[in-house]
Structure 1
Amino acid sequence: MKDFLLNGFSFFARFAGNSLVFFWLARLLDEAEFGRLSFIFLLANFALVLMDFGLYFLVVEAVLRARYFRIAALLKVKYITSALGLLLMGGVGLVLFSFRGQLSEDYLPYLMLLLSTVMLALSQHYLYHFRVQGRYQVETVTQTFYSLGVLLGVGLLVLVGAVSLWTVIGVFFLLRVLMMLVSRGYFIHLHLAAHHPVLHWRRIAVYLKRSSLYGVTALVGYALLLLDSTLMYLLLPEQLAMYQGGVRVVLMVMMLTEILTVFFLPRLRGEQGDIHKRYYLGLCFFLAMAVWLPLWGFPLQVVRLLYGQALQDLAQFMPYFAVIAVLRVGLGYLGTLLTFHGYHRIRLQSLVSALATLGLAAGLLMPVDGVSGLLIAVILAHLIAFAYQAWWLRRIQAPGFLTGGQAA
């Protein structure tokens, strides 16, 4: 029952926060600009969900294999409900926009909250049918606290009124990091309650001290991951246009790294069968992306001719979203390793990937002339992280990765 309630609140808070974002934009912009940006944000969110789901599915299903089927099931639930929620938000948003002249601004937040309630019902329906076993899921609790931070942040901005873009970014970032700290403390509480119910305070202090380095490293990674997603949602198309060339270079190199990883893993394992085919399915996916990117100018012309200005603006976002999706897969994979393989053996790997994420976020915000050095640093950091990850997994003979061992 507690799992059910936590999931319900998580989805409700997330979609209510997204709804309040639209309301906040409506107060800052005129009707024409609000309609254009709302359409862009809606399609961009949906595109990000699809890319995120596809990449996570490949990593979890093909690399982690059957031992982690519960994680795969949870991710499927998360992205299925996200996609449904975004589609529903788009439909209701179009209806509201068509009646914008007849709606009072005072009633708009209540309509958005009603929309969130409908989304909650949809998400609960799918959670009931695809529910993951286990009492406390890491994703559930983390998403709950994270969503609470988003909801509080957007609600505060709506109450305050018009503020600068950097104020918005700062409020979101600080609140989300705060919620991650609370979430980390909650996990420690659950772990102690489940495994050491009779611990006295001195032993608790020792436990916290031993896990402090992991906690700091994980929080750095969380904070940087939150920073890049905050920038992704809040920067406007005009501010990203000048960085499109640098983003394209980073994305192509990241895809090349993924291609090499996916291509060599089956050969190192020497394994045949279904898992072998999944790796090559991933290889085909990344190759298709790498071939498509150099032809970016041609698809942009097609989009301009067929779909108009709104989708053209969305197309300018796509390289940035793809980079974020790849980085999220990397950090999500690291988080899985931290959770299930023992954190004390991969601190360096987590820290390197966190720094790479920071480098990318910083590079995207700098002038074009200053980006090249940061791009090289990001690429090298990810190559080091992949190499260290492969070496460490082979050393501990992790099931289903490099060793040919069967999942437990």
Structure 2
Amino acid sequence: MAAQKPLKVVVTTRLFTPEVGAAAFRLKALVDGLAALGAEVQVITTTPPKGSGLFKPAYTLSRWPVLRDAGGNVRGYIQYLSFDIPAFFRLLAAKADVVVSEPPPTTGVVVALSSMLLRRPFVYYAADVWTEALSAMEVPSIVKKVMGAVEGFVLRRAAAVIAVSEPVAEQVAKFRVPLDRIQVVGNGVDTSVFTPLGLAASAEHPYFVYTGTMSEWQGAEIFIRALPMVREKFPEVEIRFFGQGTDETHLQDTADVLVSGSVHFGGVVPPAEAAEWIRAAAGALVSIKPEQGYDFAKPTKIYAAAGCGTPVIFAGRGDGAAIVAEGGLGVAASYDARSVAEAMIAVLTDATVDGSQTRESRIRWVAANASLAASGRVAAAAVLNVGKVE
């Protein structure tokens, strides 16, 4: 009996290793899982920014130049289309049993249309729901309606939708996607990087750290507004931001007015360097601005901090707050400067917060509940099931 040929999977994403970002990490975990299960994988992606480092995996990487904004990001509709339009033709030339699409929905449309033409299935990897994210931004209502229609078209056309959490799955189902097509695979971080073992950063003063994307719907400004109250009791404490995003300039301006010289912006750094800063921090800052349609989000920066053993200060409510409180990962505070300041002071006073949360317990929780490699394997199995059925 002849051996079965390996399934050919094409993953289409604007971000991939060695770029730094949750999407790039998540997709690499998926591809690693696919390769481990014997699939023949090709990744259709972009040429990374200069200085990103080398990455030469065993699978095929098909890169193409793309427009980036001033910060080097592929963010904004013109930038998206500079990837999506060439990707359409690249997909037409690619041989595949199943294709995987990563957001934004514009990329999903390209994957859906090319899949319709070639009569092959595709899987949509829903890390979030873009229509919900738009509700947190000041954009015209017509843009929200159009994006909602586009996202709905993509989700309903997909042979399967992979959701990173139950709340995301619930949002996907609102687009009239049959429940048997939605699979929750979980999310997490690379526990070989975000670990208590390794170098720790050296800083002159105690500090809190914020890593990753800085967007309007995250509302990280609340930590800067809380800092003057924290400094009344701990005069030398600072905040260090690492990452980038559409709200970064606003955060810098706010810091200059309220606590000049006490908030530092270090830009995008490799995961290993981010882990060094997290290990040495008094606490890690995470926020979701309430009533912006994003209370269901579970930011991976929660897992990164806890994986290093560092307590989390979460500002907001919803699923992120629940994870921090129920997992014993730190303090979940209301989204107001006074409550956030009290949480920061509590952590500075006692890193175990209430005596029951320890560094070791946080590390154990992440190992058991937020391994990116584990979720990547589950996602890979879901993708291959679609290919086998077809």
Q: Given the two structures, how large is their TM-score scaled by the length of structure 2?
A: 0.32
Which one has a larger percent strand, Structure 1 or Structure 2?
Answer: 2
Bigger RCO of structures 1 and 2 (CA < 8 A, at least 6 apart): 1
Which one has a larger percent helix, Structure 1 or Structure 2?
Answer: 1
